[in-house]
Structure 1
Amino acid sequence: MTVGIVMLAHTALDRAAEVARHWATHECPVVIHVDKRVDDAEFLAFQANLADLSNVRFSARCACHWGKWSMVEATQIAVELMLSHFADVRHVYLASGSCLPLRPVSELVDYLAARPRTDFIESATTEDVPWTIGGLDEERFTLRFPFSWRTNRYLFDRYVRLQRRVGFRRRIPDGITPHMGSQWWCLTRQTLTAILEDPERPKYDRYFKRVWIPDESYFQTLSRLYSTNIESRSLTLSKFDFQGKPHIFYDDHLHLLRRSDCFVARKIWPNADKLYRTFLNDKKVAQNKAEPNPGKIDRVFAKAVERRTRGRPGLYMHSRFPNRHWENDLTSAPYAVFEGFADLFDDFESWLANATGSKVHGHLFAPERAEFVGRPDTYLGALSSAPALRDYNPRAFLTNLIWNARGERQCFQYGPSDTQAIGDLLTRDPNAQVFVISGAWAIPLFHSNENFSDIRRQAAALQKIESEHLDALRLPECRARARIWTMAEFIESPMEPLQIIIDEIGPRGRSRLTEAPKMADLAGFGQFLQNLKNQGMHPYLMGDFPSDDDPRRKPRGRRKPYLVK
């Protein structure tokens, strides 16, 4: 007894001929179905190439279309020819023209000989499979699909919606429970004979002709009626991506294919000369008796799917620009944003750079220009300081900056007078550390020499912007790590929050701060805030400032003792 190979071919017939010859010369009969859409001259050349092999047959041809009944019909025709012409075939192995045997044929023959009544076919109910793509699970068995999903997607979708709207539902034939699974199976003669010779077959065929992708459900369902022992797995390594498209194996997948221990792999690139040369080598000998285990390489495929769909953290490029919320982290590395610090402290950028060893920029989103560290016109990755280029896509500007400078923490100043287009990014990015001294934007207004009416108007606008920004940072769904101090709270004891900042973004083991950066002159600032109030603008983000003194010199009263009973 031996194994018969049914091959469905429609392209790369030269490679299909190589594989068919390999099976046939190792005493495995081969029946080949060639898609009727293949040019007749190409088909005749294919036949002539294998004419010297007595155990190779060609079945009657039909035009095969993806997702249509024709795929099942072609398989039925080829299997019937196999069973009628090769009486010593005990198992029939369904393969495609792009399949490639990975282990010596003798291993497959011995493996199946030790399991003479076992059918290997993925067969699971719709409730049990996670791999269906396209939104149709049970509905593929209860709706009609006269239009092609690939060539006439518009009518396909419209007709499905129409059937849902009117509540149409096909009746599933009595006695069967729809199952699904891989098209590539290995079934025993007994099971296939029972399916093909069943008196109820015309009824089943009529039903499955209107099922979507019947080649993944016809044999998977009917084998459950007749098989005495089903192993719900395929002996063929066939991997699919997140869109339901098969992975294609290339020469650099050689070691990966060997690790799977599977007998056959699909789908092989026709120009993978190294794979065909290696696995069709007649001199190779059986090296192990391991069970086929595609799960051994699932981790590699899962990683490949994640890289394709999500990319590398924080990398955006033309070949893989993710949809919103598909990003694998918004940025590639942690960074810090300081709001109000450069207003409260003189030369804060230099002090922070010395204290933490980070790259400390100015206001990257200032209206006039991007203030890179050192104020160059261009920065890493040819990022321009021109505001027009930056503001064309502020999010890309920031993510590119973090990516180009990865390996070195970036810090920059930000405030309500800057471009606010990155506010949403900051709140959604777990890599962002945002430190805010609320109300500090008023200090430059305090020192300005503008008309007070203009100052009041600017203060009201800036306060509204910052208030909305702080509300976003305080939302429960905010993923940035934010620390917010009012201005009055901060300047009352600046060393404590500055130490917190240094501990969080500075190198570990840094000694405690002994000196704070020089603070701006705030004499009269309290009266300035009172004047804003008198003019009808309430500056509430600064905290509780006295109106007649510099808050830095405010005496701190001794705390009253209290008794705990």
Structure 2
Amino acid sequence: MAKIAYILLCHKDPEAVIQQASQLTTVGDYISIHFDARAPKSDYDQIRQALAENPNVAFARKRIKCGWGEWSLVQATLHALETAVTAFPRATHFYMVSGDCMAIKTAEYAHQFLDQRDQDFIESFDFFDSNWIKTGMKEDRLIYRHFFNERKHKALFYASADLQRKLGLKRKIPADLQVQIGSQWWCLRRRTVERLLAFLKTRKDVIRFFRTTWIPDETFFQTLVRHLVPEHEIETRTLTFLMFSDYGMPITFYNDHYDLLLRQDFLFARKISPEAQELKLRLGKLYAAKDVSFSISNEGRNLQKFLTERGRVGRRFSPRFWETESTLGRERELMIITCKKWHVAKRLLESVRQVTNLPCLEYLFNEEGTPLPDLGGIQASLGKRTRHRRALMRMLFEYYDSDRMVVCMDPASLDLIQDFYSDRSRTRLLQVECIFSDSYLAGHARRVGLAGEATSQQSLDRLLPTIRNDILFESDRLRDANLDHHMILRQTNEPAVNLEKLQNFLSISPEQADRILQTDHLFAD
């Protein structure tokens, strides 16, 4: 049976540290604590006194002052890790946590989870080839030496880096290491930790290198574990559930996140708000509970992204030069069908193709697998299609040797639709509005990852109004854009009204429009 030794780095709130340590050790697990030397000694003494009688608690042999982005965070972790290896010989796993972390599964579940997987859990992506770093310094973190803290001495930090850059003082990365990067919240097996500590005793050059890198807690363990452990024994993920805002700030969890957290495929969560007393109480009791079953839906990150994007309207960037300087052609006519129910638009599109023999393309800017001819690679990915959208459409017109074409786009793609409207070609828009039942919206939420099969009905009841409002919001945006030749075909319209709309949109005869609208089960889900 797995026995976990938690490695806790903390710097404040001694009462919370005492509570956290007591909760995590109540079922036989261990904890090794490093309490920042910058914190008051009285706080540290309070923690030691309160936990003195707990045999499953140990303290790092040395307290050091820690600073964000500095080697000190790695050194503090190593002190706590060395203490844990010696103090807890029965520990099978070592799990890195902070004072803001709490378990979101029972100890029983966590032990079974680890027993079934003989692996280390640590994010380790290639430092140079991955896109893990979104903004700020990348290779400069490694190839230059950093002696100042960017947050405390910003001017000195950047002046030092600039001086090294001007003088060409690049340094070499240890030749046998392939630097990796990832989250600092890991769970490692005992043999991995022992192998790592033994490696460091013989490789002082590695410590010297990382001691002056910037933010080494995101690269040190990630690199060495990948260096020392076979790839098939590493699962490149963290077992701690955490999310970040668009600005790179951690998302904080509150009392009403309890059910959401339990449904995620993780053992811990970070960050729990200090004010979320009810959540902390419930999660604290949960860890020691027995025979608890968990329904894993794992929709947390998709749901957070969806909810935080509501209401943010605007073009993603100004048009690129190849978009503003290219045109589909004055004599060409692009007809866009937009519908949130993609299967309805596809049925309609297929009928249009059969009745009119016009070139018809499904959601080519929304679905990677949309069938397209080989156009030299420009059609190969959604990113390329979107970036070179006018060039792509011009090539499609030429490929089909036609001056008229029908395509489908999602109503959320207003920037694409507006861009085509700004072209010299003639553009028409047919907006297809459908009825959305709660059951359809629930299925939609599951298909796009906002909910899972195990998501509770209570959670769905809270989510569905938001999805429905989002669909209405996209529809209203299209109408508010005041686009020329914009027609709306509604499921609730009288057939004669829809016939007229479709006839005008496609410039076809009433008989042809009627044949298209007679499509079997056009609006069926």
TM range (shorter): 0.5 to 0.7
Separation (CA, whole Å) in 2 of partners of 1:222 and 1:477? 57
Q: Which residue of 2 aligns with 1:297?
A: 300
Q: For residue 33 of structure 1, what is the amino acid of its counterpart?
A: H
Q: In the alignment, what sits opposite 1:215?
A: 217
Q: How far apart, CA to CA, are the structure 2 residues paired with 1:153 and 1:24? A: 41
Aligned 1:347-358 pairs, distance under 5 A: none
Q: Which amino acid aligns with 2:290?
A: V
> CA offsets, 1:327-373, max 9 Å, x none?
xxxxxxxxxxxxxxxxxxxxxxxxxxxxxxxxxxxxxxxxxxxxxxx
**Separation (CA, whole Å) in 2 of partners of 1:510 and 1:106:** 60
Cross-structure match for 1:424: none
Structure-2 residue corresponding to 1:172: 173
CA deviation vs aligned residue, 1:429-471 (integer Å, no higher than 9, x gap): 96999xxxxxxxxxxxxxxxxxxxxxxxxxxxxxxxxxxxxxx
Residues 502 and 67 of structure 1: CA distance in aligned 2, closer, same or farther (over 3 Å): closer
Give yes or no for contact 2:36–2:65 (8 Å, CA) kept in 1. Answer: yes
Segments of structure 1 that go 5 or more residues without pairing to the other structure are 315-321, 327-428, 434-471, 483-499, 513-565
Q: Does 1:255 align with 2:253?
A: no
Match of 2:292 among 267, 287, 293: 287
Work out whether residues 132 and 181 of structure 2, in 8 Å CA contact, stay in contact via their aligned partners in 1: no
Separation in 1 of the partners of 2:276 and 2:197? 37
SS of the residue 2:24 aligns to: helix
1:67-106 C-alpha deviation (Å, 9 max, x unpaired): 0000000000000000011111111111111110011112
Structure 2: segments with no counterpart, 5+ residues: 320-413, 430-482, 501-525
Q: What residue in structure 1 maps to residue 123 of structure 2?
A: 122
Structure 2 CA distance for partners of 1:510 and 1:177, relative to 1, 3 Å: closer
How many percent identity over aligned positions? Answer: 32
Please list the CA deviations of residues 147-201 of structure 1 after superposition, one character each: whole Å capped at 9, or x if unmatched: 2222222333333334334443211112111001110101111111111122433
Identify the residue that residue 366 of structure 1 maps to in structure 2: none
Paired residues of 1:8 and 1:95 also in contact (CA < 8 A): yes
Match of 1:271 in 2: 275
Cα 1:501–1:323 change in 2 (3 A) is closer
Aligned residue for 1:248, secondary structure, equals coil
Aligned counterparts, 1:144-543, within 5 A:
144-198=145-199, 199-228=201-230, 229-281=233-285, 284-288=289-293, 296-307=299-310, 311-313=311-313, 476=423, 509=497
SS of the equivalent of 1:31 reads strand
Distance 1:286 1:312, change over 3 A: farther
Q: Which has the higher contact order (CA 8 A, sep 6+)?
A: 2
- 141-150 vs 97-106, greater mean Cα deviation: 141-150
Contact 1:431 1:480 in 2 (8 A): no
Whole-angstrom distance in 2 between the partners of 1:201 and 1:13: 36
Cα distance change, pair 481–202 in 1 and its aligned pair in 2 (3 A):
same
Structure 1: which amino acid aligns with 2:122?
I
Q: Secondary structure at the match of 1:281?
A: helix
Q: For 2:263 and 2:98, locate their aligned partners in 1 and report how far apart those are by CA, in whole Å.
A: 22
Change (3 A) 1:430 1:136: closer
Hey, what's the Cα distance between the residues in 1 that align with 2:424 and 2:40? Answer: 60
Letter in 2 for 1:96: S
2:243 and 2:251 in contact (8 A); partners too: yes
| SS at 2:181 equivalent | coil
| Secondary structure of residue in 1 paired with 2:152 | coil
Q: Against the structure 1 CA distance between its residues 201 and 173, is the aligned structure 2 distance closer, same or farther, given a 3 Å change threshold?
A: same
Residues 174/505 of structure 1: CA separation in 2 closer, same or farther (3 Å cut): closer
1:81 equivalent in structure 2: 83
Q: Which entry has the higher C-alpha Rg, 1 or 2?
A: 1
Distance between the aligned counterparts of 1:478 and 1:212, measured in 2?
52
Q: CA shift at 1:474, angstroms?
A: 9.3
In 2, distance between residues paired with 1:480 and 1:157?
51
The DSSP-based 3-state class of the residue aligned with 2:263 is helix
Q: In the aligned structure 2, how far is the partner of 1:251 from the partner of 1:244?
A: 23
Change (3 A) 1:142 1:284: same
CA distance in 2, matches of 1:262, 1:189: 20
Aligned partner letter, 1:298: R
Q: Which residue does 2:63 correspond to in 1?
A: 61
Counterpart CA distance in 2 for 1:167 and 1:177 is 22
Give the Cα separation in 1 of the matches to 2:29 and 2:305.
Answer: 35
CA–CA distance in structure 1, aligned partners of residues 261 and 488 of structure 2 = 45
| Match in the other structure for 1:458 | none
Counterparts of 1:478 and 1:150 in 2: how far apart (Å)? 52
**Higher alpha-carbon deviation: 100-109 or 150-159:** 150-159
Query: How far off its partner does 1:501 sit?
Result: 7.3
Distance 1:250 1:201, change over 3 A: farther
Which amino acid letter does the alignment assign opposite residue 5 of structure 1?
Y
Q: In the alignment, what sits opposite 2:110?
A: 108
Number of aligned residue pairs? 344
- 8 A Cα contact 2:103 2:268, kept in partner: yes
Question: What is the aligned-residue RMSD (CA, Å)?
Answer: 3.6
Query: 2:98 — aligned with what?
Result: 96
TM-score (norm 2): 0.59
TM-score by length of 1: 0.55
What is the one-letter code of the residue matched to 1:11? K
C-alpha separation in 2, matches of 1:112 and 1:156: 42
For the residues of structure 2 that align with 1:511 and 1:107, how far apart are their CA atoms? Answer: 59
Query: 1:128 Cα shift?
Result: 4.5
Counterpart-to-counterpart distance in 2, 1:480 and 1:161 = 51
